[in-house]
Amino acid sequence: MAAIDAALKAGEKILSIYNDPASDFEIERKADNSPLTIADRKAHEAIVAILNDTPFPVLSEEGKHLGYETRREWDTLWIVDPLDGTKEFIKRNGEFTVNIALVQNSVPVFGVIYVPVKKELYFGIEGAGAYKCSGIVGLEGDGVALEELVAKSERLPLKEVHDHLIVVASRSHLSPETESYIADLKKKHGSVELISSGSSIKICLVAEGKADVYPRFAPTMEWDTAAGHAIARAAGMEVYQAGKEEPLRYNKEDLLNPWFIVEPKREH
C-alpha cells in the first residue's frame, strides 16, 4: 500500500499547485529541453519520503540516477515518474499522472497510476488482477488493507463493447511511423477510431478495454511505461517491443525504451 499512498500524496501536492491561481509552475528546462515544474519536484519529494521506508531502491525521473554498475545489482526496485505528462500539466488539460512501479528482475510486477484531476486510481498486481478506483483522493487512516481498496474498485478490463477497432495515440507525440502503422490497421480492419490522450493514461485505456491498441513509435523512458506495463500485464495485456515478441524490459543500462505496442497478450 506504500506505493498507492505515495501516488495519492503526490497527486495532492500536484493539485495544490495546479489549482492555485497564483502559481506560475516555476517551469525550468532540463538538459533535453523537456519542461520541469515545481509540481514535478514536490511530487518526487512526497513519493521518495514514503518509498524510502521500503526495502527497495527508487529510480525516479526527477532523482539522481546512479550508474548502471550500481543499478544492475538491484533485482527489485521502484521505478517512478512523479509527474508524467508535464506538458499536459502546463497546458492545464488534466491529462497527467503519477506513475509508480515495482520491478523484479526487469519485469514490472506491481503498478500504480493516479490521475489527480479525475481522482482516478489504476493499480495492477501480478497474479491478482488490475483495478480502477474512482473518486479517491487519499487512504482513510493508516490501516487500509488492499482488499478494502479492491472491493471499492472495478476489475479491469471492463466489458467495453465496440464494433470497430479503437487505437489510442499520443496527444503530443504522433510520429510519421505511428501514422503509417494506423494506416495499415485501417486497411486491415476498415473502421478505425483514433482517440488521443496524454501521459500513461494511454496504457490504462487499453488495460481498461476502452481502446484495443496503443502503438508508440517515438521515444519514451522506462519511468513513462513501467507502472502502466504492470497494470496492462495484470489485465491480460502486454507491452511488446515493436516488431518483436518480447515485452519491454526495465532497469536496463540505457533507460530509453525501444518503440512498443500495447495490446492483448498474444497467443503462441
For 210-252, the pLDDT digits (tens) are 999 999 998 999 999 999 999 999 999 999 999 999 999 999 9
Which pLDDT score, from 0 to 100, does residue 141 have? Answer: 66
- Give me the domains of the chain, ranges plus CATH numbers: 1-156 (3.30.540.10), 165-264 (3.40.190.80)
Alpha carbon 179 to chain centroid distance?
22
| Whole-number pLDDT of residue 169 | 87
Q: CA–CA distance from 164 to each of 127, 160, 167, 185, 191 (Å)?
A: 30, 12, 10, 11, 6
3-state SS, the chain, equals CHHHHHHHHHHHHHHHHHCCCCCCCCCEECCCCCEECHHHHHHHHHHHHHHCCCCCCEEECCCCCCCHHHHCCCCEEEEEEEEECHHHHHHCCCCCEEEEEEEECCEEEEEEEEECCCCEEEEEECCCEEEEEECCCCCCCCCCCHHHHHHCCEEECCCCCCCCEEEEEECCCCCHHHHHHHHHHHHHHCCEEEEEECCCHHHHHHHHCCCCEEEECCCCEHHHHHHHHHHHHHCCEEEEECCCCCECCCCCCCCECCCEEEEECCCC
- Taking every pair of Cα atoms in the chain, the longest distance, rounded to a whole number of angstroms, is 55
Report phi then psi at 114, rounded to 5.
-115, 135
CA distance to 36, 135, 174, 244, per residue, from 124 (Å): 28, 18, 27, 24
Position 209 pLDDT exceeds 70 = yes
Q: What is the pLDDT of residues 40-83, one digit of tens each?
A: 999 999 999 999 999 999 999 988 888 999 999 999 999 999 99
The pLDDT score that the predictor gives to residue 160 is: 77
* Binding-site annotation: residue ranges: 61, 81, 83-86, 224
Average pLDDT over all residues of the chain: 92
Q: Would you list which residues are annotated within the binding site for substrate?
A: 61, 83-86, 224
pLDDT of residue 171: 67
**pLDDT for the residue 116:** 97
pLDDT for residue 162: 87
Label residue 142 by pLDDT band (50, 70, 90). low
Give the pLDDT band (50/70/90) at residue 143. low
**pLDDT at position 140:** 74
Residues contributing to the annotated binding site for Mg(2+): 61, 81, 83-84, 224
The more confidently predicted of residues 102 and 86 is 102
> How large is the angle between the packed helices 201-208 and 222-234, nearest 10 degrees?
10
Q: How confident is the model at residue 163 (pLDDT cuts 50, 70, 90)?
A: confident
Report the residue count for the chain. Answer: 268
Report percent pLDDT > 90 for the chain. Answer: 74
pLDDT tens column, 5-44: 999 999 999 999 999 887 777 788 876 666 677 899 999 9
Put residue 141 in one of left, alpha, beta given phi > 0 → left and psi -120 to 50 → alpha.
left
pLDDT at 37: 79
Residue 129 CA to residue 96 CA, distance in Å, equals 23
Per-residue pLDDT, 198: 86
- State mean pLDDT over 249-261: 97
Which three cell numbers mark 245? 515478441
The confidence score (pLDDT) of residue 251 equals 98
Place 207 in a pLDDT band, splitting at 50, 70 and 90. very high
* Average pLDDT estimate for 121-134: 97
